[in-house]
Amino acid sequence: MIFVGNDIVDLHSESVGNKHEDLRFMRRVFTAGERKKIELHANPEKALWMHWAAKEAAYKVICKMQKPRPVFSHAQFVVDLDPAINKGLFSNVVHATVRFRAVIIEIQFETGPDFIHAIAYCPFGEGLNAFAIHPGTRVTSSADLSLWDDNKWLESHFTENELLSCVRSESALVRYFSKKAVADYLKVAESRVQIIRPQIPDNFQPPYLLIDDRRTEMDLSLSHHERFVAWAFSVRRQGGSD
């Protein structure tokens, strides 16, 4: 099995601009070494948000590996944007690693002029040879966001258990589009796919997939920020070992 985490950053968000000049923020979130690399980067703002997204995505993986989940302190998740590893799960290059204590999480990025999408994973057991990761992103439209007010749409696409986790339009939309992506990959009806987020012991538990009401060895991660929703799921490669 592959545990996966992801994080999306909308680079056009007002909250993103010039954060590399905010010394208090930089010292709280990044180590001295990370701050130096960001400062010397050709595009400090992009480098900052690549580091940020890598940390956020890696934390989601750690939460699936360690119980109880650790308190999230960004500076404890140390990013290396120039790792020696050269094999990845959905492209030929691992773009970064994140070290948390003794655990190394691998990171790959999807990037565009207006977004950064970090996908984190920690393979174990069969790992890279048996599994692949499929990421996706989407820019939400005003028409998409208006679906949140359509009770018939919500009830037709989500079960009661799923709706417990749909606390706002973006959380509903990222589930809708990721369920569609999973169903398309598996070639099954979307109604057979559920994304459940446990409410116990609190409502911050990682989501998981159900296919025909049963857990599978697939893993899933969801993220949204401003205009973007994003997801990543791991699945056994066709022809992989059983």
Tokens, residue 45: 């703002």
Question: Looking at the chain, which runs of residues are DSSP E strands?
Answer: 2-10, 78-80, 96-100, 103-112, 115-123, 131-139, 193-196, 208-211, 214-215, 219-225, 228-236
Q: What is the model's pLDDT at position 9?
A: 98
Confidence of residue 127 (pLDDT cuts 50, 70, 90): low
The most distant pair of C-alpha atoms in the chain lies apart, rounded to whole Å, by 52
Residue 130 has pLDDT above 90, yes or no: no
Residue 239 reports pLDDT greater than 90 = no
Mean pLDDT of 139-144: 96
Higher pLDDT: 37 or 123? It is 37
With 70 as the cut, is the pLDDT of residue 47 above it? yes
Task: Output 130 or 233, whichever has higher pLDDT.
Answer: 233
Residue 136 has pLDDT above 60, yes or no: yes
C-alpha triplet 72, 74, 79: angle, nearest 5°: 130
Q: Domains in the chain, start-ordered, CATH in brackets?
A: 2-133 (3.90.470.20), 137-236 (3.90.470.20)
Q: What is the pTM of this model?
A: 0.92
Higher pLDDT, 187 or 131: 187
